[in-house]
Amino acid sequence: MPAPNAPGGRIPGPGYTKIQTRSMTYAVGFLLDQGLVFAADSRTNAGVDQVSVARKITRFEKPGERFMALLSSGNLAITQAVIRQLMEDLDSGGDGDLHAVPTMFAAARIVGAALRNVYEVDAEHLAEQGLEFNAAFIFGGQVEGGEARLFMIYSAGNFIEASVETPYLQIGEIKYGKPIIDRTITHSSTLQQAIKCALLSFDSTMRSNVSVGPPIDIIAYERDSLKSGLRVSLAEGDPYLGLIREYWGGALRQAFYDMPDPDWLKSP
């Protein structure tokens, strides 16, 4: 009987690799004095010849009462199952209802529990197919009467929280975009500065990793507003993406040329 995961119904041979669609690309969240900034690309892939677009930011909000945003990375089937469970539990009044939860910490616990529920259903079957249970989330927002908070939730459903000392969290292909954030953003940075930094971080990542690409979705949340603020999606060929790539590349080259030589490199 043909193996269901083999292309064309062929039985997999020794060199056959099982592939599932991944959204392991890049997303970042900032926790600032002024509020929160979320940014994520939209590229998914199941191999170099199967690239598509899937949005990775999901909002849960009741304007005037609460605002929450969830950014996803990893196996797309897993992250979509978690999001679907959270959406179906909305307004149910049950333990998993993000519209009824009293604090952001409790909300993060709900997201972690949803991820563990998906693990219990799917992890064994994925392992049988030689596939890893791989998913991560950035989750942040504010509930009326509480503080704005930002969390990173791991595959096991546990999580860490951003702080004044560490005001940002990343998931996916983080290594290329991290240095610019480390050098520029603090907890006192403005929302506008964080948005520009996020886009520079994406530019560095896209230059070095083809699995990351537009559209880039951005949401800015102003502290205590209890509703989403700026929402923008920058598509392939967006003029501002081109502008910052040209400007930042030129500025880096000029800084490199202007850098003083050490004494031991100077000509005799």
pTM of the model: 0.85
Q: What is the mean pLDDT of residues 244-264?
A: 91
Residue 4 lies in a domain: no
- Asked whether residue 6 is domain-assigned, the answer is no
Residue 263 lies in a domain: no
pLDDT digits (tens, 9 = 90+) for 229-245: 999 999 988 999 999 99
- Tell me the percentage of the chain whose pLDDT exceeds 70: 87
Instruction: Give 191's pLDDT tier (boundaries 50, 70, 90).
Output: very high
Residue 266 domain-assigned (yes or no): no
What pLDDT shows up at residue 59?
96
266 or 73, which is more confident? 73
Output the pLDDT for position 51: 56
pLDDT at position 263: 85
The domain of 46 spans 20-256
Please count the structural domains in the chain: 1
What is the arithmetic mean of pLDDT over 208-212? 77
pLDDT of residue 24: 53
The percent of residues in the chain predicted with pLDDT above 90, rounded, is: 60
Per-residue pLDDT of 32-48, as tens digits, reads 999 999 999 987 654 44
Convert the chain into a string of H (helix), E (strand) and C (coil): CCCCCCHHHCCCCCCCCCCCCECCCEEEEEECCCEEEEEEECEEECCCCCEEECCCEEEEEECCCEEEEEEEEEEHHHHHHHHHHHHHCCCCCCCCCCCCCCCHHHHHHHHHHHHHHHHHHHHHHHHHCCCCCCEEEEEEEEECCCCCEEEEECCCCCEEECCCCCCEEEEECCCCCHHHHHHHCCCCCCHHHHHHHHHHHHHHHHHHCCCCCCCEEEEEEECCCCCCCCEEEECCCCHHHHHHHHHHHHHHHHHHHHCCCCHHHCCC
Poorest-pLDDT segment among 53-62, 107-116, 127-136: 127-136
Answer yes or no: is 110 within a domain.
Answer: yes
The answer to the question of residue 268 being in a domain is no
CATH, residue 52: 3.60.20.10
- Asked if pLDDT for residue 210 goes beyond 80, the answer is no
- Give the pLDDT confidence score for residue 173 in this predicted structure: 85
pLDDT value at position 91? 78
pLDDT of 266: 73
The residue among 51 and 173 whose pLDDT is bigger is 173
Domain assignment present for 121: yes
Predicted confidence band at 1 (pLDDT cuts at 50, 70, 90)?
very low
Across the chain, mean pLDDT equals 86
Express each pLDDT in 120-172 by its tens digit: 888 788 788 887 888 899 999 999 999 999 999 998 999 999 999 999 999 98
In a domain, 176, yes or no: yes
Q: pLDDT tens digits, residue range 63-90?
A: 999 999 999 998 888 899 999 999 999 9
Residue 11 has pLDDT above 50, yes or no: no
